[in-house]
Structure formats: structure tokens, C-alpha cells
């Protein structure tokens, strides 16, 4: 059986503001967020590097 719910932007923003209040008290979450961001940046760098390699990089003479 399938179920569906629509979450409006107001509720999303409310929830995010609530989370910000929690994070002020919660150093563990700050560390987790830092980890997410680092993974994200590494992934983008890797993806971009792979694209450069597959298309060739005249500047580097691949």
C-alpha cells in the first residue's frame, strides 16, 4: 500500500530552524555536519577530476 504526504516550504523552514536551535547545544551534530560537507566536497572534486580525465585536458597533455 502506498502513502503520500506533501510538506510545505513553511514547515520545512520551521523544522530547519528548530534543528538550528538544537545544534547550538549539540557539538556532536556539528561534527557530523562537518563530515557531510567534507564528503560532499571530496565527491565533487573526484567527479570533476574524472570528467577532466575522460574528456582530456589540453593544458596537461593527457
Partner 1 sequence: MALVPEFSVSAVNPYVSGYSGSGTPYLSGYLLSYGGFTSYYSPYSIDAQHSGDELIIGYDPVDPADESDLASYNDDVYRRCVFRLVVGADDVRADHQFLFVFGFTNPVTFYPAVAQFFVGTEWIRSDPIDDPTETVALLVDSPGDGSTFLNIFVRLAAESQYARIGLTGIEGFIL
Q: In the complex, which residues of this chain contact partner 1 (CB under 8 A)?
A: 1-9, 11-19, 21-22, 26, 28-29, 33, 36, 39-40, 43-44, 47-48, 51
Q: Which is nearer to partner 1, 55 or 61 (CB)?
A: 55
Contacts of 52 (CB under 8 A, 6+ apart): 62
Q: Which is nearer to partner 1, 47 or 62 (CB)?
A: 47
The rounded distance, in Å, linking the Cα atoms of 59 and 62 is: 8
Whole-number minimum distance, CB 62 to partner 1, in Å? 18
The answer to whether 29 and 23 have CB atoms below 8 angstroms apart is yes
Amino acid at each position: 500500500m502506498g502513502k503520500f504526504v506533501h510538506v510545505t516550504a513553511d514547515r520545512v523552514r520551521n523544522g530547519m530552524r528548530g534543528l538550528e536551535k538544537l545544534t547550538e547545544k549539540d557539538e556532536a551534530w556539528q561534527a557530523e555536519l562537518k563530515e557531510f560537507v567534507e564528503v560532499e566536497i571530496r565527491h565533487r572534486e573526484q567527479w570533476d577530476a574524472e570528467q577532466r580525465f575522460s574528456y582530456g585536458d589540453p593544458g596537461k597533455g593527457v
